[in-house]
Structure 1
Amino acid sequence: MATDREIALEQALVAVFDAASRGQCSAEVLLARATEMLVPNHPRYNWQNIDQTKSELSSAFATGMMG
């Protein structure tokens, strides 16, 4: 059984890839677009643990920007 963090990480990854498929953009714009998608009752995705997913997404970008 997946942990809450694993679910959040998977959802964050899906959001990033979906945002990236819309075209080239900066990391900041990509983060903003992915975060905008993380809303309850999204027409395309059944998000769970939205707050944790946003946190994981922000952490991933912060880590990536430092690396």
Structure 2
Amino acid sequence: MNTATRLFREFGYYDVSMDDIAEMAGVTVPTVYAHFADAAALLIERAGPREPDGSTKSSPARWRTR
């Protein structure tokens, strides 16, 4: 998932394919699809669950700058 996050940040979500993610991660495309249905599912998983205030478990709202 770190590879996908890095690619999404560098190139944008719409310009990154599952093939790109697999290649950069050093795995096969079927391996990526075995864990994630598509790039959107991977992005949602990476973002993590949201709290009622919009923060994630790993980045509480109090840590964000406004």
Regarding TM over 0.5, the answer is no
In the superposition, the TM-score normalised over structure 2's length comes to 0.35
In the superposition, the TM-score normalised over structure 1's length comes to 0.35
Larger radius of gyration: 2
Greater share of helix: 1
